[in-house]
Structure 1
Amino acid sequence: MRIPNLERRSFYLRLIYALCLCGATWTHLQVALVHGLWWDYGGVAPLTRVYWTSLLFIDPLTVLLLLLSPRAGLILCVAVIGTDVVHNSWFALHHPIRMDLYLSQIVFLLFVAFTVRTAWRGATSRSAALRAVD
Protein backbone atom coordinates (compact mmCIF):
# COMPACT_ATOMS: atom_id res chain seq x y z
CA MET A 1 0.00 0.00 0.00
CA ARG A 2 1.31 3.46 -0.92
CA ILE A 3 1.34 6.10 1.83
CA PRO A 4 0.35 9.58 0.65
CA ASN A 5 3.19 12.16 0.63
CA LEU A 6 1.81 14.25 3.50
CA GLU A 7 1.52 11.20 5.74
CA ARG A 8 5.06 10.15 4.82
CA ARG A 9 6.44 13.61 5.60
CA SER A 10 4.58 13.61 8.90
CA PHE A 11 6.05 10.24 9.78
CA TYR A 12 9.59 11.36 8.95
CA LEU A 13 9.20 14.57 10.95
CA ARG A 14 7.82 12.65 13.92
CA LEU A 15 10.72 10.21 13.60
CA ILE A 16 13.20 13.11 13.72
CA TYR A 17 11.40 14.54 16.78
CA ALA A 18 11.52 11.09 18.39
CA LEU A 19 15.25 10.69 17.72
CA CYS A 20 15.95 14.11 19.25
CA LEU A 21 13.88 13.19 22.30
CA CYS A 22 15.79 9.90 22.57
CA GLY A 23 18.97 11.97 22.75
CA ALA A 24 17.42 14.07 25.51
CA THR A 25 16.36 10.90 27.32
CA TRP A 26 19.94 9.66 27.12
CA THR A 27 21.17 12.90 28.72
CA HIS A 28 18.64 12.62 31.57
CA LEU A 29 19.40 8.91 32.01
CA GLN A 30 23.13 9.59 32.35
CA VAL A 31 22.40 12.11 35.11
CA ALA A 32 20.14 9.63 36.91
CA LEU A 33 22.67 6.79 36.61
CA VAL A 34 25.52 8.91 37.94
CA HIS A 35 23.66 10.87 40.64
CA GLY A 36 20.40 8.98 41.27
CA LEU A 37 16.80 10.10 40.79
CA TRP A 38 16.81 12.29 43.90
CA TRP A 39 19.90 14.36 43.03
CA ASP A 40 19.50 18.06 43.79
CA TYR A 41 21.46 19.18 40.68
CA GLY A 42 23.92 21.05 42.86
CA GLY A 43 21.31 22.73 45.03
CA VAL A 44 18.80 24.05 42.48
CA ALA A 45 15.20 24.89 43.39
CA PRO A 46 12.95 21.90 44.15
CA LEU A 47 10.62 22.54 41.19
CA THR A 48 13.60 22.63 38.83
CA ARG A 49 14.78 19.28 40.23
CA VAL A 50 11.33 17.77 39.77
CA TYR A 51 11.01 19.16 36.24
CA TRP A 52 14.41 17.97 35.05
CA THR A 53 14.00 14.54 36.62
CA SER A 54 10.48 14.17 35.20
CA LEU A 55 11.89 14.59 31.69
CA LEU A 56 13.58 11.21 32.13
CA PHE A 57 10.07 9.74 31.94
CA ILE A 58 8.20 12.33 29.86
CA ASP A 59 10.66 12.35 26.94
CA PRO A 60 10.39 8.58 26.21
CA LEU A 61 6.61 8.74 26.70
CA THR A 62 6.55 11.46 24.05
CA VAL A 63 8.61 9.24 21.73
CA LEU A 64 6.10 6.42 22.11
CA LEU A 65 3.15 8.71 21.51
CA LEU A 66 4.76 10.26 18.43
CA LEU A 67 4.90 6.80 16.90
CA LEU A 68 1.72 5.22 18.26
CA SER A 69 -0.67 8.14 18.72
CA PRO A 70 0.76 10.87 16.49
CA ARG A 71 -1.41 13.84 17.38
CA ALA A 72 -1.14 13.24 21.13
CA GLY A 73 2.60 12.84 20.64
CA LEU A 74 2.83 16.10 18.70
CA ILE A 75 0.95 17.99 21.41
CA LEU A 76 3.23 16.58 24.10
CA CYS A 77 6.34 17.20 21.99
CA VAL A 78 5.49 20.89 21.58
CA ALA A 79 4.71 21.15 25.29
CA VAL A 80 7.95 19.43 26.31
CA ILE A 81 10.34 21.42 24.13
CA GLY A 82 8.46 24.66 24.74
CA THR A 83 8.54 24.34 28.52
CA ASP A 84 12.12 23.08 28.44
CA VAL A 85 13.39 26.12 26.56
CA VAL A 86 11.32 28.55 28.65
CA HIS A 87 12.46 26.94 31.90
CA ASN A 88 16.11 26.72 30.89
CA SER A 89 16.08 30.30 29.61
CA TRP A 90 14.81 31.43 33.01
CA PHE A 91 17.35 29.19 34.74
CA ALA A 92 20.20 30.61 32.62
CA LEU A 93 19.43 34.09 33.93
CA HIS A 94 20.41 32.96 37.42
CA HIS A 95 22.89 30.09 36.94
CA PRO A 96 25.59 28.97 34.54
CA ILE A 97 24.39 26.34 32.09
CA ARG A 98 25.87 24.10 29.41
CA MET A 99 25.51 26.32 26.39
CA ASP A 100 25.80 23.44 23.89
CA LEU A 101 22.79 21.65 25.38
CA TYR A 102 20.81 24.88 25.71
CA LEU A 103 21.48 25.88 22.09
CA SER A 104 20.53 22.41 20.86
CA GLN A 105 17.19 22.78 22.66
CA ILE A 106 16.59 26.12 20.97
CA VAL A 107 17.43 24.65 17.55
CA PHE A 108 15.07 21.73 18.22
CA LEU A 109 12.32 24.13 19.34
CA LEU A 110 12.72 26.16 16.15
CA PHE A 111 12.70 23.02 14.01
CA VAL A 112 9.53 21.79 15.70
CA ALA A 113 7.89 25.22 15.45
CA PHE A 114 8.57 25.43 11.71
CA THR A 115 7.55 21.84 10.89
CA VAL A 116 4.84 20.82 13.35
CA ARG A 117 2.03 22.04 11.10
CA THR A 118 3.12 19.62 8.37
CA ALA A 119 3.55 16.84 10.94
CA TRP A 120 0.05 17.54 12.30
CA ARG A 121 -1.67 17.68 8.91
CA GLY A 122 -0.17 14.38 7.84
CA ALA A 123 -0.74 12.62 11.15
CA THR A 124 -3.60 10.21 11.32
CA SER A 125 -5.32 8.99 14.41
CA ARG A 126 -4.13 5.64 15.69
CA SER A 127 -7.36 3.94 14.67
CA ALA A 128 -7.13 5.35 11.14
CA ALA A 129 -3.52 4.21 10.89
CA LEU A 130 -4.51 0.71 12.01
CA ARG A 131 -7.37 0.60 9.49
CA ALA A 132 -4.96 1.60 6.71
CA VAL A 133 -2.75 -1.38 7.54
CA ASP A 134 -5.67 -3.84 7.37
Structure 2
Amino acid sequence: MRKQDIRRRSFYLRVIYALCLVGATWTHFQVALVHGLDWDYGGVARLTQVYWTSLLFVDPLIALLLLVMPGAGLIPCVAVIVTDVAHNSWFALHHPVRMDLYLSQIVFLLFVAFTVRTAWRGATSRRTGLSVID
Protein backbone atom coordinates (compact mmCIF):
# COMPACT_ATOMS: atom_id res chain seq x y z
CA MET A 1 0.00 0.00 0.00
CA ARG A 2 1.30 3.44 -0.91
CA LYS A 3 2.25 5.93 1.81
CA GLN A 4 -0.31 8.40 0.51
CA ASP A 5 -3.06 5.78 0.92
CA ILE A 6 -1.93 4.97 4.46
CA ARG A 7 -1.90 8.68 5.38
CA ARG A 8 -5.36 9.15 3.90
CA ARG A 9 -6.78 6.15 5.77
CA SER A 10 -5.12 7.34 8.95
CA PHE A 11 -6.68 10.76 8.54
CA TYR A 12 -10.16 9.31 7.99
CA LEU A 13 -9.81 7.03 11.01
CA ARG A 14 -8.62 9.92 13.18
CA VAL A 15 -11.59 12.00 12.03
CA ILE A 16 -13.92 9.18 13.07
CA TYR A 17 -12.16 8.89 16.44
CA ALA A 18 -12.42 12.67 16.91
CA LEU A 19 -16.12 12.70 16.03
CA CYS A 20 -16.78 9.94 18.56
CA LEU A 21 -14.91 11.91 21.22
CA VAL A 22 -16.87 15.04 20.34
CA GLY A 23 -20.06 13.02 20.74
CA ALA A 24 -18.88 11.89 24.17
CA THR A 25 -18.04 15.49 25.00
CA TRP A 26 -21.61 16.47 24.14
CA THR A 27 -22.90 13.86 26.61
CA HIS A 28 -20.60 15.16 29.38
CA PHE A 29 -21.49 18.75 28.50
CA GLN A 30 -25.21 18.04 28.88
CA VAL A 31 -24.61 16.55 32.32
CA ALA A 32 -22.51 19.56 33.37
CA LEU A 33 -25.08 21.97 31.98
CA VAL A 34 -27.91 20.39 33.96
CA HIS A 35 -26.05 19.52 37.18
CA GLY A 36 -22.88 21.64 37.23
CA LEU A 37 -19.25 20.59 37.30
CA ASP A 38 -19.34 19.59 40.96
CA TRP A 39 -22.25 17.14 40.69
CA ASP A 40 -21.76 13.90 42.60
CA TYR A 41 -23.59 11.79 39.97
CA GLY A 42 -26.09 10.63 42.54
CA GLY A 43 -23.56 9.85 45.25
CA VAL A 44 -20.92 7.83 43.40
CA ALA A 45 -17.33 7.57 44.61
CA ARG A 46 -15.29 10.78 44.41
CA LEU A 47 -12.78 9.31 41.94
CA THR A 48 -15.62 8.34 39.62
CA GLN A 49 -16.99 11.89 39.84
CA VAL A 50 -13.59 13.37 39.02
CA TYR A 51 -12.98 10.91 36.18
CA TRP A 52 -16.34 11.48 34.50
CA THR A 53 -16.18 15.25 34.88
CA SER A 54 -12.61 15.34 33.57
CA LEU A 55 -13.77 13.72 30.33
CA LEU A 56 -15.64 16.95 29.54
CA PHE A 57 -12.22 18.55 29.05
CA VAL A 58 -10.04 15.57 28.10
CA ASP A 59 -12.19 14.22 25.24
CA PRO A 60 -12.24 17.43 23.14
CA LEU A 61 -8.53 18.01 23.76
CA ILE A 62 -7.75 14.54 22.43
CA ALA A 63 -10.10 15.10 19.46
CA LEU A 64 -8.14 18.23 18.59
CA LEU A 65 -4.79 16.47 19.02
CA LEU A 66 -5.90 13.67 16.71
CA LEU A 67 -6.24 16.22 13.93
CA VAL A 68 -3.37 18.62 14.55
CA MET A 69 -0.77 16.39 16.26
CA PRO A 70 -1.79 12.85 15.30
CA GLY A 71 1.04 10.99 17.00
CA ALA A 72 0.35 12.87 20.24
CA GLY A 73 -3.40 12.23 19.97
CA LEU A 74 -3.53 8.51 19.27
CA ILE A 75 -1.97 7.31 22.51
CA PRO A 76 -4.30 9.29 24.81
CA CYS A 77 -7.24 8.33 22.57
CA VAL A 78 -6.53 4.65 23.18
CA ALA A 79 -5.87 5.30 26.88
CA VAL A 80 -9.15 7.17 27.36
CA ILE A 81 -11.37 4.60 25.69
CA VAL A 82 -9.64 1.69 27.45
CA THR A 83 -9.90 3.34 30.88
CA ASP A 84 -13.46 4.49 30.21
CA VAL A 85 -14.68 1.00 29.28
CA ALA A 86 -12.71 -0.58 32.14
CA HIS A 87 -14.06 1.92 34.66
CA ASN A 88 -17.62 1.74 33.39
CA SER A 89 -17.50 -2.06 33.30
CA TRP A 90 -16.48 -2.06 36.95
CA PHE A 91 -19.14 0.54 37.70
CA ALA A 92 -21.84 -1.50 35.90
CA LEU A 93 -21.16 -4.44 38.21
CA HIS A 94 -22.31 -2.32 41.17
CA HIS A 95 -24.76 0.21 39.71
CA PRO A 96 -27.31 0.46 36.92
CA VAL A 97 -25.96 2.11 33.77
CA ARG A 98 -27.42 3.37 30.52
CA MET A 99 -26.82 0.32 28.39
CA ASP A 100 -26.93 2.26 25.08
CA LEU A 101 -24.08 4.54 26.17
CA TYR A 102 -22.10 1.67 27.67
CA LEU A 103 -22.44 -0.47 24.53
CA SER A 104 -21.47 2.46 22.31
CA GLN A 105 -18.25 2.80 24.32
CA ILE A 106 -17.51 -0.90 23.82
CA VAL A 107 -18.13 -0.59 20.07
CA PHE A 108 -15.82 2.44 19.91
CA LEU A 109 -13.15 0.55 21.87
CA LEU A 110 -13.36 -2.39 19.45
CA PHE A 111 -13.24 -0.07 16.44
CA VAL A 112 -10.16 1.70 17.81
CA ALA A 113 -8.51 -1.60 18.72
CA PHE A 114 -8.95 -2.97 15.20
CA THR A 115 -7.94 0.22 13.35
CA VAL A 116 -5.38 2.04 15.49
CA ARG A 117 -2.44 0.33 13.80
CA THR A 118 -3.42 1.85 10.45
CA ALA A 119 -4.11 5.20 12.10
CA TRP A 120 -0.69 5.11 13.77
CA ARG A 121 1.21 4.08 10.62
CA GLY A 122 -0.26 6.93 8.62
CA ALA A 123 0.08 9.48 11.42
CA THR A 124 3.73 8.75 12.02
CA SER A 125 4.76 8.62 8.39
CA ARG A 126 7.13 11.31 7.13
CA ARG A 127 4.42 13.93 6.52
CA THR A 128 1.57 14.17 9.02
CA GLY A 129 -0.27 17.36 8.11
CA LEU A 130 -4.02 17.67 7.83
CA SER A 131 -3.92 17.48 4.04
CA VAL A 132 -5.06 14.13 2.76
CA ILE A 133 -4.01 14.85 -0.78
CA ASP A 134 -0.32 15.26 -1.59
User: TM-score by structure 2 length?
Assistant: 0.92
Percent identity for Structure 1 against Structure 2: 79
Letter in 2 for 1:89: S
Contact map agreement 2:7 2:128 (CA 8 A) in 1: no
1:118 alignment partner in structure 2: 118
1: CA distance, partners of 2:118 / 2:64: 19
* Deviation readout 1:32-82 (Å, 9 max, x if unpaired): 000000000000000000000000000000001000110111001000000
1:74 alignment partner in structure 2: 74
Instruction: Report matched runs for 1:77-116 at 5 Å.
Output: 77-116=77-116
1: CA distance, partners of 2:71 / 2:95: 35
Letter in 2 for 1:63: A
2: CA distance, partners of 1:71 / 1:39: 34
1:34 alignment partner in structure 2: 34
1: CA distance, partners of 2:114 / 2:51: 25
- Give structure 1 regions of 4+ aligned residues with deviation exceeding 4 angstroms: none
Consecutive unaligned residues of structure 1, counting only runs of 5 or more, are none
